[in-house]
Structure 1
């Protein structure tokens, strides 16, 4: 969840809780005020009735409710003395009404000329109920409007507040060492955002300097290694051409030449791998993998014939990807070359091109490779010859990681199968 949404979530929940508590308290207080007002009216009515009893004792015989809304009946002294004024809500049939109506009733006791009486006074709550209902809905809609308004306002305000942060984050996300010239920048008066910008730019500046030093070192090291290796190769070849050396010495020189040649290939492979990991390939094009596979098979046709390996291709669809052409050639040629080189006599290689997927399987050693190590640098199976550099699959894996492609290996039905999934890549290299 985004920080903006998370902060908005916590703020909205807090405001929602506060407004909810306030609404409940407000409603209860208003309801209490209405009941207090009704109870005060009943109390005044009680005083008037007691005053009327002194002038008109006949009302003591009024034992049922009528238009005057009170009733009196005689009770015992003990009960009268134990009674206190009691207010309660109840339902009663009112005059000219067929249905029960809500009323507020006061029950009390009084004494008149040595006799004790119970007095019940009622007040219709029909209008008050309507008032309470109106009050409830008024509070409810006020509550809803307040919550919605607060959320909308805070959302607008917070989005405006966090806009510089997301702009800066977008610039940092698109920043690429070696290709992006300007450091990410934002214009804001928020102290924390400016502190973040300075900290990130300081780290990026340090990374840029380290990247340039590393790049320069790799280029210099590669160049410096190529020169002495080339000189050593030339001198050894001159010794062989003179022909005044013994056969054992010539054989030793030939072995040294093979080692030097392997060092040259290893140096080039390590340089290529470093360039891939440093994202120094940015020639993005729409590449047809079908065409690259066909060209690779043509280039390796003589090699396959020499190894006596049959290669078949199954094109189920046209497979196009956005990537650097040189890197596309690397992943295809490395897989096909490995499939031919590490095959059995009279073996075969199958290349399947499907929608967003390239699968290369081959016969070979009848036991699976170590799945967790097969893409490691310098990984070689136990019986593998020392002719290769051990970097082919590592380079191919680095290219796939660069573009977010998923590469996998499995051993199925006595066949070694490598599969590259181009769809749903997790990250794409920015152009």
Structure 2
């Protein structure tokens, strides 16, 4: 564009010079801008760039030069018109800086405008997301979500409210069913136990029959224990343990060890660095300690040592084992079965984990290898966050 404008100015100046020569017959020259002179013959027009020394600036300047030949009043003239070329680099730099400035300002404006607009549009979504994170099946209050002008968010809100209400109804029905089954199963178990006692006390039975009846009694006891554990898990899920007391776990562990000694289990060794007290429901504290110790006894030979260590905020139980668990992260899963073992972990450790979740305790498990007799140590640790 600059070049085109310069060339238009050159041709305009050449036309004025030609007109002056035609009308006035006077040869005007103003070097280096305009130079006119008579010649003997016409030549081809030339349009080019040329460098001319500028004494005022003491430097070479770039000019655009139009060199043309005209026949005016039967005379031949060589007309040379020059004009200073504007330095396009400076203009280009100015244009680039201006455009970049405009783009940057537009970007900043659009960014903050869109950000504020998006925050406004998405605010109901994030508010509802926080409400959903705090949603609890045990809460009696229905979930309350914020309205939105966005159609998709409004539909999502309606579907979530419908879904949560249905889930709550299903949960209440399942909870009621579990409680009813756990309660009703106690009566037939008690009746079966009473009838078996009557058979043993009132009838003469053979050794084989005695063994069979003893096996039945053991199965009944297992069913009773299983029922109690299911009831415990259900009550924990339903937040029914609201009683809080300062439970002295040091005394509780000592009592449990004495109870196990009465059953001729003498491989429990307790070391208390400091007295350990925890604020929780006493019943759950008893279950927590009993399940951890029972689990260690269950998987340890009577000749092997079971170590129990406590300090001001940690309970640690260690028992021997030949190999590390394949999937230790599933140890606290209900009825988890390791590899091809027929025997599962039952509900004991699952209840321990549920109690820890209920109070915010941290249960961990690790296996410590040992070269002694090829045995290592299974170490369970409960950290009671004060």
Aligned residues of 1:375 and 1:397 also touching (Cα < 8 A): yes
Aligned residues of 2:308 and 2:317 also touching (Cα < 8 A): yes
SS of corresponding position for 1:184: coil
1:255 aligns with 2:211: no
Aligned residues of 1:400 and 1:407 also touching (Cα < 8 A): no
Residue aligning to 1:245: 204
Residue aligning to 2:44: 80
Q: How many Å separate the matches in 1 of 2:103 and 2:173?
A: 63
Aligned residues of 1:42 and 1:123 also touching (Cα < 8 A): no
SS of corresponding position for 2:138: coil
CA offsets per residue over residues 396-428 of structure 1, 9 Å max, x none?
A: 34556676956444352223324458699xxxx
Deviation of 1:229 after TM superposition, in Å, equals 0.4
1:390 aligns with 2:350: no
With the length of structure 1 as denominator, give the TM-score of the two structures: 0.68
1:121 aligns with 2:82: yes
* Cα distance, 1:93–1:151 mapped onto 2, change above 3 Å: farther
1:159 aligns with 2:119: yes
- Kindly indicate which of the two structures has a greater share of residues assigned to helix: 1
- Structure 2, unaligned runs of 5 or more: none
Size of the aligned set, in residue pairs, is: 371
Deviation of 1:122 after TM superposition, in Å, equals 2.1
* Cα distance, 1:110–1:215 mapped onto 2, change above 3 Å: same
Residue aligning to 1:227: 187
The structure that has the greater radius of gyration is 2
* Cα distance, 1:251–1:152 mapped onto 2, change above 3 Å: same
Aligned residues of 1:304 and 1:340 also touching (Cα < 8 A): no
Summarize the alignment of residues 159-198 of structure 1 with structure 2, pairs less than 5 Å apart. 159-198=119-158
Aligned with residue 140 of structure 1, among 76, 88, 100: 100
Q: How many Å separate the matches in 1 of 2:37 and 2:259?
A: 122
Deviation of 1:222 after TM superposition, in Å, equals 0.6
Q: How many Å separate the matches in 2 of 1:139 and 1:317?
A: 74
Residue aligning to 1:339: 296
SS of corresponding position for 1:416: strand
Aligned with residue 350 of structure 1, among 283, 304, 307: 307
With the length of structure 2 as denominator, give the TM-score of the two structures: 0.75
Q: Which moved more, 1:203-212 or 1:106-115?
A: 106-115
Deviation of 1:100 after TM superposition, in Å, equals 5.5
* Cα distance, 1:252–1:283 mapped onto 2, change above 3 Å: closer
- Structure 1, unaligned runs of 5 or more: 1-31, 425-431
Q: How many Å separate the matches in 2 of 1:190 and 1:304?
A: 65
SS of corresponding position for 1:80: coil
Residue aligning to 1:200: 160
Deviation of 1:215 after TM superposition, in Å, equals 0.5
Indicate the RMSD between aligned Cα atoms, in angstroms.
4.5
